[in-house]
Amino acid sequence: MFSEVEKKINQLSQQIEEHNYNYYVLAKPTISDFEFDKLLEELIKNEKEHPEFLKPNSPSQRVGGQITKEFKTVKHKYPMLSLGNTYSEIDLADFDERIKKGLHNDYEYVCELKYDGVAIGLTYKNGILIQAVTRGDGEKGDDVTTNVKTIKSIPLKLHGTDYPEEFEIRGEIFMPRKVFDEINNEREEIGDQLLANPRNAAAGTLKMQDSSVVAKRNLDCCLYAVLGENLPYNTHYDSLMAAKAWGFKISNYMEKVADSAGILKFINHWDKERNNLAFDIDGVVLKINSFEQQRILGFTAKSPRWAISYKFKTQRVSTILESIVYQVGRTGAITPVANLKPVLLAGTTVKRASLHNADIIEKLDVRLGDTVFVEKGGEIIPKIIGVDETMRHSNSHKVTYITHCPECATALVRDEAQANHYCPNELGCPPQVKGKIEHFVSRKALNIDSLGSETIAQLYDAGLIKNIADLYQLKKEDLLKLDRMAEKSANNLLAGLEASKNIPFESVLYGIGIRHIGETTAKKIAYYFKNIVALQNATLEQLLEVGDIGEKTAQTIIAYFADQRCVEIIEKLKSFGLRFQLSEEQLVNTSNKLKDLTFVISGTFSKFSRDDLKKTIEQNGGKNVASISGKTSYLIAGDNMGPEKLKKAEKLAVKIISEDDLINMIE
Ligand code: IVH
């Protein structure tokens, strides 16, 4: 018999997963974000009050929180092979010829997009996701289940009932371009090195230790193969259609074709259209549709004989390099940009290309007036990949890289680890100052949305603001003097500034824009030091004690507070009433009593939900890890604890305690 609460939890879980499916798989949401958040909140509240009904596949688990210290290596049930590559029509004709010889009767191909991401194998038992493993070396991969559960287009529980009792489904995890751009914008803001491309970003994200960070990165997953014993389908296409009905995201761009003419049509279409997709592809994949025919064709040592990939050619043209300009980014990084004689490439007119940094210019030895080759690969921004030296003018000479900032004339610096030169005049270089102010007012910082980048530029150019503290001295009459600033906008702006005085310490800390301090790190630091004075006085050793802060970040923090100008800005902000300490409410429940201790929790608890227990551990300075090792301080045992964990803890002599013991430790 189900109790009322259990029924409610099940009903909410089902409703939420249905909405996740509508939003992330079908791209057709039927409720607002607000309504969705309400449902999720209600589920979490119920699960907190009745942790005995919290299931590992509950949609509340998609927000993450579990830490994986080391990813377990798992042997693949079916080896994860790769595909043979082709690059030309001739290669394709050869492939088709081999198929014809191998089969002797009619056949059909399925054409698919070749997603440029990370291969994943998902195992489901009785309709529940039980394991997610990366490709690894094809024989063995890494168990990344905890992280994969945060990907909202991957069903934790399947729809309907007609799925095999146990099967594996394979596909590609990728980072949509929009998400990639957002992350890089944010990294640029805090002066972190940019992610190279969406594929690397997806691979890196999947191997992160903290699943709540993975959850925020909005990965997506498209599935392209169903594997299992005695599957009740005759064709690859039908198996994917069945998987679609079970709730998986299957490509909308698959096509069945009968011959090489059909294949070429598909390839040519996507070669042109690929820039309009929301994600990166690097080619197409062709597969024989019939499972029986796949079986007849079989495998070579490395790849199936019944499938092949076709890689798109990168499009390349040549044009003249007319000039090089140097841009100063919001963090002071200098990017050399090539101005080119306009040329048509992959459907767009290209006038500019990035030259990245001084090393690249040196390596390519590009010179003004040179004829250069420009390529558009998977990336949207074209790049110069070489020089046509046969066309070089005899009087050309090497490019001398700039030594001073084109915006403020400060001498540029370059540190060993960084490829780019940068302007160190953080507090005086116009694009950097404007960038800092834009960061300060951004949504995750002080959230002053009534102040856009155009207004910031106007205020700066008019000499009304020189740093973030000056914002709070703005007067209505100053604002009204600006172009396009009406009474209403001025009022909104002032109200936005006033409201920002209630923004919590961790967001203010993020907002002041110390290099390398992102949102998550700011939060950790805020909870650790509790107020700005303690942080200001912290030694290198103390900073390194905050989890996840490395030497580089710690040094940056010290350098920041050693700069009198930074301290003055903080003092001013304080005098205007911004929050530079945790609130009373935040302070209750926090301590350093669990410092240096690591905890594994297992089972369900009566006084905490699992998430609350983890949060309590963190707020008291402890660390959560997913699996037991010799270094684990305590295993907190709940009801229905996994027997394996218990055995391992006993073997490694890890202390086993109850939730009450933990409460005693922190009281
Ligand atoms: S089928 C037995 N289909 O390309 C071969 N692979 O070398 C199973 N990929 O690592 C692969 N899109 O990660 C297949 N529609 C698609 C694909 C695809 C991308 C990746 C896959 C694999 C590599 C092939």
Q: What are the pLDDT digits (tens) for 237-289? A: 999 999 999 999 999 999 999 988 999 999 999 988 888 899 999 999 999 99
The yes-or-no answer to whether 316-391 and 505-587 have a common fold is no
Alpha helices in 531-658 (DSSP H): 532-536, 540-545, 551-562, 564-575, 584-587, 610-619, 643-651
CA of 541 to the centre of ligand 1 (A): 47
3-state helix, strand, coil in the chain (%, to 5): 40, 20, 40
Catalytic residue among 8, 72, 101, 114: 114
CA of 82 to the centre of ligand 1 (A): 7
pLDDT score of 107 = 96
Say yes or no: CB of residue 67 within 6 Å of ligand 1. Answer: no
Say yes or no: CB of residue 80 within 6 Å of ligand 1. Answer: no
pLDDT score of 377 = 63
CA of 21 to the centre of ligand 1 (A): 24
Say yes or no: CB of residue 172 within 6 Å of ligand 1. Answer: yes
pLDDT score of 189 = 75
CA of 233 to the centre of ligand 1 (A): 20
CATH number at 430-502: 1.10.150.20
Please give the backbone phi and psi of residue 601, each rounded to the nearest 5 degrees, phi first: -110, 145
Q: Nearest residue CA, atom 16 of ligand 1?
A: 114
Say yes or no: CB of residue 405 within 6 Å of ligand 1. Answer: no
Which residue stretches of the chain have pLDDT < 70? 1, 347, 377-380
Hey, where are the domains in the chain? 2-63, 73-311, 316-391, 430-502, 505-587, 589-666
Check residue 55 and give left, alpha or beta (phi > 0: left; psi -120 to 50: alpha): beta
| CATH for 316-391 (2.40.30.170, 2.40.50.140, 3.30.950.10, 2.40.50.100) | 2.40.50.140
Say yes or no: CB of residue 85 within 6 Å of ligand 1. Answer: no
Say yes or no: CB of residue 285 within 6 Å of ligand 1. Answer: yes
pLDDT score of 439 = 94
pLDDT score of 192 = 76
Q: Nearest residue CA, atom 18 of ligand 1?
A: 114
Model confidence pLDDT, tens digit, residues 627-660: 888 888 999 998 888 788 888 888 888 899 999 9
CATH number at 73-311: 3.30.470.30
CATH 1.10.150.20 for domain 505-587, yes or no, is yes
Write b or e for each residue in 160-195: b if 16 or more Cβ atoms lie within 10 A of its Cβ, otherwise e. eeebbeebbbbbbbbbbbebbeebbeebbbbbbeeb
| CATH for 2-63 (3.40.1190.20, 3.40.50.150, 1.10.287.610, 2.40.50.140) | 1.10.287.610
For a pocket test of ligand 1, which of 168, 224, 249, 300 has the largest count of ligand atoms closer than 8 A to its C-beta? 224
Per the structure block, which two tokens stand in for 622? 């402890």
pLDDT score of 379 = 58
pLDDT score of 78 = 94
Say yes or no: CB of residue 304 within 6 Å of ligand 1. Answer: yes
**347 burial type by CB count under 10 A (0-12 exposed, 13-18 middle, 19+ buried):** exposed
Per the structure block, which two tokens stand in for 500? 């920002």
Q: Are the beta carbons of 589 and 621 closer than 8 angstroms?
A: no
Q: What is the third-level CATH fold of 589-666?
A: Rossmann fold (3.40.50)
Active site residue 114: yes
177-189 and 430-441 are packed helices; what angle lies between their axes, rounded to 10 degrees? 120
